[in-house]
Amino acid sequence: MKKFFSLILLIIIVVGMIYTIHQIPFGKNQSKIGKYFVANGKDETGAANIVTSVVVGYRSFDTLGEVTVLFLAAIGLGAILTTTKKQNHDIEKASLILNTGCRFLFPLVLLFSAYIFIHGHLSPGGGFQGGAVVASGFLLIYLACPGKRINKVGNTISESVGGLIFIILGAIGLFVGDRYFLANFLPKGELNTLFSAGIIPIIYIALGFKVGSELNSVIDKMMEES
Amino acid sequence: MKEITYINPVLLIAVPLALAFIIPILKFVWEKSIKWIPVAGFLFDLIVSITLIPIVLQKNIIVKIGGTTTPFSINLVVGPAGLLLSIMISLAGFLVAIYALKYIQEGDKTKYHILFMLLLTGAIGVVLTGDIFNLFVFFEVLCISSYALVGYLGNRAGIESSIKYLIQGSIGSSLLLVGIGLIYGQYGTLNMADLAAQIKTADSISLFVPMFFMITGLGIEAAIFPLNSWLPDAHSSAPSSISAVLSGIAIEVGLYAMMRILFTIFAAESFMGFLLFLGVITLLIGEMSAFSQNNIKRMLAYSSIGQIGLIVFAFSIATASGLSGGFFQMISHTLNKALLFLATGFMIYRTGSMEISSFRGLGKKMPLTALFFTIGTFSIIGLPPFVGFASKFLIFKAALAKQELLFIILIAVIILTTVIEGAYFFRIIQTLYFKESDDKSSKQESAITALIPMFIFALLILILGIYPNWIMKFIHSAASELLNKMSYLRSVLG
Amino acid sequence: MDFLYNYIYYIGAFGLILIGLYILLVKHNLIKMIIGLSILETGVNLFIITLGYLDNGTAPIFSKENLESNMMVDPVPQALVLTAIVIGLAVLALALSLAIRLYDSFKTLNLKKIKEQKW
């Protein structure tokens, strides 16, 4: 009976959606604000990657909220999982090949992630993607070398400092130039070079550290539980 | 024209966020100071919000963020309505943070303070933003911190309620996101004012569908009738200081976001008749369920559902006086419910039980706490001279001014629910004062840091009840801002 | 064929949304519900990214000199989906941690068997 009503509800939703979708032309035109961004984005922010200029330029306030959500996830996870008792499992040691291979790969993974978030304004990628790659490197170590843990103090500090840099850079914009929050007050530089786009690469580097350490603390908590 | 200098309202959001990011470092350096950080943050917000009142009463403040061209970058719109809510949020945040200095003893206290701060910062973001996707992001900040805080104590009830809340809340957020996507696909913009300029009425079905999704998504957080099954569990299992904020702020913020979308973006006058009934049904169901509860926190949670129903009813009248009544009822509900939950928190702490019957004789053992609790109940029932009377009176006046039979019938239903409300609240007061307790333990008040915020709430309830005219001008301009779509458009798009 | 060409992404997105919603409405196992939530979020993200599609469009990156801005896909949905993915991840992490604690407390993940809180 419940399934039947669920299906009826879903069918109503589908009909409504299909009706609405008819109004939206598919693959034909760019939207109003999208058009503006691809036309003016590279001149106004100096970033070759227009998605980056939207994420860290025009809609950077969203990104601030997004970082906060990730911070919340790490904190909330910690708050919920603190009170559990620690159990001791027998951990099977990883084989030599796995162990060595992972330790060999780990610095390379970190290097790659640094490349991704430093070049966020030039190529696909950015702070979030780079941070995810950082966390995947640490996950590799967690899985291959049982018993190794991250340095929690350092992790917390890089988490907090990353967020603070974002907000402080934004607040500096309140006193410089056009006087708005998250203004791009540094020189734009030449398009398509590493030192361009003003504060965007700095924010992305800070975000890379912050996202990486937040995902690390999520992984750390989850690994402690299992 | 003389340019008036004021503090940039974006700091209302940025400063608490920065403070929340600092807290984890402070844990290593100076752990004792952590619990004072939320107090400081919300005191700052409260002062800044109050200094903005005279400017906002003249014209809306538009704050540009990340770019200067209006429909393309995000902007905050600080109008009277948003500022009213923001003052209430920072006031409640400030007082509840003081209360939490002594109240929070279990769990990871550092994390509690971070989550508490981010919850209210998210709420301020929702009420001030002028961009529909930004609203979604801050809404998620609000929701995710409340999921974590409901499960914060880690007991069986908390975990179960948190799971329920999380599942339903995430469905709501996904629906809201689908609605935003459909709107973006059709109009190619995310700015609320720009959307409102392009949408004339919500009559066509291609607009009704996204509106339906967005209203459903926000309605889950606002706990409107068919979507409120998470609320009594979540609000009763959280720590009392959090229940105060969830009941007093979180659901009202959800409701405000919903009304902002309905009034400003869609101008959906025809939808209001439907909401009118939903509001009255929510009120009736909330109060009737509250009547049959023995657990005091569940009872207060159901009473919150009822109050939300009343606010929805007031907003759905869709006249200036109706909206004023709605805003006044929001203020009154925040003050009353926060006071009730704070008083209940220490009463539960003292007796060790949430059953109403265990509160026998507390009127003698905790005279001040019981007195504040009584003031809260009298106000929520709507007895003069407390603020609840003034707000209910405004709503009745607005509904009767419509001069339709329908409204007279609905008013009769609302008066009936007030009687129910009175019956179950007087039962508690009777238990508090007129029943002798079994144990003869000595008199012991709540902690002084808990009594001060309760006293301030009670004082505000009394003062605003006796002199409602002090804030009526502000409330009227908030109501006319929410109702008048064209002036909002002009202020943003120029 | 033309119909399929025009709407295949929407069909996929709404298919995922509906599968997710159906799982959430019908199933009682918490892990299954979390999977449903994840599918629902993926569907929503796919739907939003589809809104920005442009026939024969290029990625919105000026990596070469001679790229035309009017042939680039809409960058806004990509930025929105980046935000939405991160939010989805946060909710997922929180839900899984709650599931761990739920199993610790109740020794079951079936929400139908857990009925301590009721109206």
The ranges assigned to domains in chain A are 44-78+95-225
Residue whose C-alpha is closest to residue B247's, from B130, B370, B325, B344 = B344
At A204, list the tokens: 């992305």
How far is it, in rounded angstroms, from Cα B152 to Cα B109? 10
Contacting chains of A (3 CB pairs or more, <8 Å) are B, C
- Chain B residues whose CB is inside 8 A of the A39 CB are none
Chain B within 8 Å of C81 (Cβ-Cβ)? no
CB B62 within 8 A of CB B75: yes
How far is it, in rounded angstroms, from Cα A196 to Cα B306? 56
Residue whose C-alpha is closest to residue A107's, from A129, A138, A152 = A138
Q: What is the pLDDT of residues B145-162, one digit of tens each?
A: 999 999 888 888 888 899
Whether C94 sits inside 8 A of B232 (CB atoms) is no
- Banded model confidence at residue B383, pLDDT cuts 50, 70, 90: confident
The residue type found at B259 is M
Task: Give me the percent of chain A exceeding a pLDDT of 90.
Answer: 22
**Amino acid B311: pLDDT:** 92
Residue of chain C whose Cα is closest to the Cα of A43 = C62
Residue whose C-alpha is closest to residue B280's, from B132, B407, B444 = B407
Beta bridge partners of B65: A181, B74
What residue segments make up the domains of chain B, in order of their start?
Answer: 11-493
Burial C75-95 (b: 16+ CB within 10 A, else e): bbbbbbbbbbbbbbbbbbbbb
For residue A154, how far is the Cα from the chain centroid?
19
- Report the 10 Å Cβ neighbour count for C109: 18
Q: Is the pLDDT of residue B23 over 70?
A: yes
Residue whose C-alpha is closest to residue A145's, from A88, A101, A192 = A101
Rounded to 5°, the CA angle B354-B143-B128 comes to: 120
Q: Is the pLDDT of residue B40 over 60?
A: yes
Task: Give me the percent of chain B exceeding a pLDDT of 70.
Answer: 98
Q: Is the pLDDT of residue A56 over 70?
A: yes
Calculate Rg over the CA atoms of chain B. 22
Task: Give me the percent of chain A exceeding a pLDDT of 70.
Answer: 95
Separation in Å, CA B276 to CA B250, B280, C93: 21, 6, 38
Mean pLDDT value across residues A169-188: 82
Q: Is the pLDDT of residue B89 over 90?
A: yes
- Chain C residues whose CB is inside 8 A of the A17 CB are 14
Least confident of A70-74, B395-399, B440-444, C89-93: B440-444
Chain A, residues 40-69, CB within 8 A of chain C, namely 41-42, 48-51, 53-55, 59, 62-63, 65-66, 69
Residue whose C-alpha is closest to residue C72's, from A162, B120, B5, A40 = A40
Chain B within 8 Å of C39 (Cβ-Cβ)? no
- Chain B residues whose CB is inside 8 A of the C94 CB are 144, 147-148, 166
- Banded model confidence at residue A38, pLDDT cuts 50, 70, 90: confident
- Banded model confidence at residue B3, pLDDT cuts 50, 70, 90: low
Q: Is the pLDDT of residue B42 over 90?
A: yes
State the residue for tokens 């959001």.
Answer: B13
How far is it, in rounded angstroms, from Cα C85 to Cα A128? 10
Mean pLDDT value across residues B114-142: 92
Residue of chain A whose Cα is closest to the Cα of B19 = A164
- Chain B residues whose CB is inside 8 A of the A172 CB are none
- Banded model confidence at residue B4, pLDDT cuts 50, 70, 90: low
Burial class (CB in 10 A: 0-12, 13-18, 19+), B482: buried
CB A63 within 8 A of CB A199: no
Mean pLDDT value across residues A204-217: 91
Best residue in C48, C49, C50 for a mutation probing chain B (most B CBs within 10 Å)? C48
How far is it, in rounded angstroms, from Cα B475 to Cα A202? 43
Residue whose C-alpha is closest to residue B433's, from B372, B361, B359, B378 = B361
Mean pLDDT value across residues A43-56: 85
CB A139 within 8 A of CB A219: yes
Chain B within 8 Å of C80 (Cβ-Cβ)? yes
Contacting chains of B (3 CB pairs or more, <8 Å) are A, C
Reported ipTM: 0.94
Q: Smallest Cβ distance to B8: which of A66, A79, A174?
A: A174
Mean pLDDT value across residues C94-99: 91
Residue of chain B whose Cα is closest to the Cα of C113 = B160
**Amino acid A181: pLDDT:** 82
**Amino acid C55: pLDDT:** 81
Least confident of A95-99, B167-171, B353-357: B353-357
Separation in Å, CA C86 to CA A211, B137, B145, B214: 10, 10, 15, 20
Least confident of B261-265, B324-328, B355-359, B456-460: B355-359
Cis peptide before B210 (omega within 30 of 0): no
Q: What is the pLDDT of residues A66-112, one digit of tens each?
A: 999 999 999 998 888 875 555 666 667 778 888 888 889 999 999 99
Tell me which of 1.10.3120, 3.10.290, 1.10.10, 1.10.287 is the CATH number of domain C2-55+70-106: 1.10.287
What residue segments make up the domains of chain C, in order of their start?
Answer: 2-55+70-106
**Amino acid B44: pLDDT:** 93
Distance from the first to the final alpha carbon of chain C:
52
Residue B100 or A29, more confident: B100
Q: Please tell me the total number of residues recorded for chain C in this structure.
A: 119
Q: Is the pLDDT of residue B1 over 60?
A: no
Distance from the first to the final alpha carbon of chain B:
16
Query: Up-side HSE of residue A82: CA atoms within 13 Å toward CB?
Result: 17
Q: What is the pLDDT of residues C8-23, one digit of tens each?
A: 888 888 889 999 988 9
Q: What is the pLDDT of residues B237-273, one digit of tens each?
A: 888 899 999 998 999 999 999 999 988 888 777 788 8
Write down the number of H helices and E strands in chain A.
8, 0
Burial C18-35 (b: 16+ CB within 10 A, else e): bbbbbbbbebebbeebbb
- Report the 10 Å Cβ neighbour count for B210: 28
Residue whose C-alpha is closest to residue A209's, from A167, A166, A145, A148 = A166
Residue whose C-alpha is closest to residue B427's, from B356, B479, B378 = B356
Separation in Å, CA B73 to CA B67, B137, B140, C46, C97: 5, 15, 20, 24, 36
Residue whose C-alpha is closest to residue C31's, from C42, C23, C22 = C23
- Chain A residues whose CB is inside 8 A of the B141 CB are 65, 68-69, 72
